[in-house]
Amino acid sequence: MTLPISLLFLGVVFATSVLSGIFGMAGGLVLLGFLLAWLPAATAIAVHGVVQLSANASRAWLSRHFIDWRIVGGIAVGVAIAALALALVRYHPSETVVLIVLGLMPVMVWIPKRWFHLDVSRPSHAVLCGVVSGGLTIAVGVSGPTIDIGFIRTHLDRRTVVASKASIQVIAHSLKIVFYWQAAAAMGAEAWGWVLLGLPLAVLGTRSGNLILTRLSDSGFRTWTRWIVTVVGGYYLIRGLAGL
């Protein structure tokens, strides 16, 4: 990446971490879209995993008292199953497919509750959510809306939602980095220097977003989450279809 793009990358890392700190998602969607504009799909997903791992780990730590470990454990089992399945079929990402899937993801948060009863407070639903969200995290880089569809139908406090999702994402992004380690290793040392420089900004952005989260109501949190991911998803869908 050139110097202007590298500096822009740092700004995007901070801004998207603030967004994720507030809503527990959306920021990852924006960051991955930026990376796909400059890097091959596998490398972009690997870099995205490193940055998001840092951001989610800090968010999980800041909200650790609100984590529902029973839900996290169930979803983690599903994520591991998905990772193993993708490894067995030797999956490799395509930029166009990644963009189209990212564009279609937000549709899921608008599915009426009566149509799709997925509630992560139920163990079997948590594992299923993990399989779907974990598979998408590794296959296309992010899975926020698919995780959210399991949480948005529960009666959990917004802080528990954000904290538990952050913990799950730490697990999923860790597996994603391992999955794409060869693509990550192929990127130059200078580029990785910029990525490492962005990690403190990811943590700082997360802390800033966490402060804003405390001022949101539960209803406002859910409404804003739906609209933000829908707008971002619409942009990616158009971009992906244009690449066909």
Q: Is the pLDDT of residue 145 over 70?
A: no
CB 37 within 8 A of CB 55: no
What whole-number distance in Å separates Cα of residue 97 and Cα of residue 240? 7
Q: Which two tokens stand for residue 180?
A: 């794409």
Provide the residue range defining the domain that includes 39.
3-242
| Confidence (pLDDT) at 109 | 65
Q: Which two tokens stand for residue 27?
A: 């920021």
Q: Closest Cα to residue 22, out of 178, 220, 177?
A: 220
For 158-197, how does the pLDDT look when each residue is reduced to its tens digit (9 = 90+)?
Answer: 788 878 988 998 999 999 999 998 888 888 888 889 899 9
What whole-number distance in Å separates Cα of residue 233 and Cα of residue 238? 9
What whole-number distance in Å separates Cα of residue 172 and Cα of residue 176? 6
Predicted confidence band at 220 (pLDDT cuts at 50, 70, 90)? confident
Q: Which two tokens stand for residue 171?
A: 């697990």
pTM greater than 0.95 (yes/no): no
What whole-number distance in Å separates Cα of residue 106 and Cα of residue 146? 8
Please state at what angle helix 158-179 crosses helix 218-242, rounded to 10 degrees. 30
Rounded to an integer, the average pLDDT of 109-119 is 68
Q: For the chain, give the mean pLDDT.
A: 85
Q: Report the number of distinct structural domains present in the chain.
A: 1
Least confident of 66-70, 89-93, 142-146, 230-234: 142-146
What is the separation of C-alpha 8 from the centre of its chain, rounded to a whole number of angstroms? 20
For 7-21, how does the pLDDT look when each residue is reduced to its tens digit (9 = 90+)?
Answer: 999 999 999 888 877
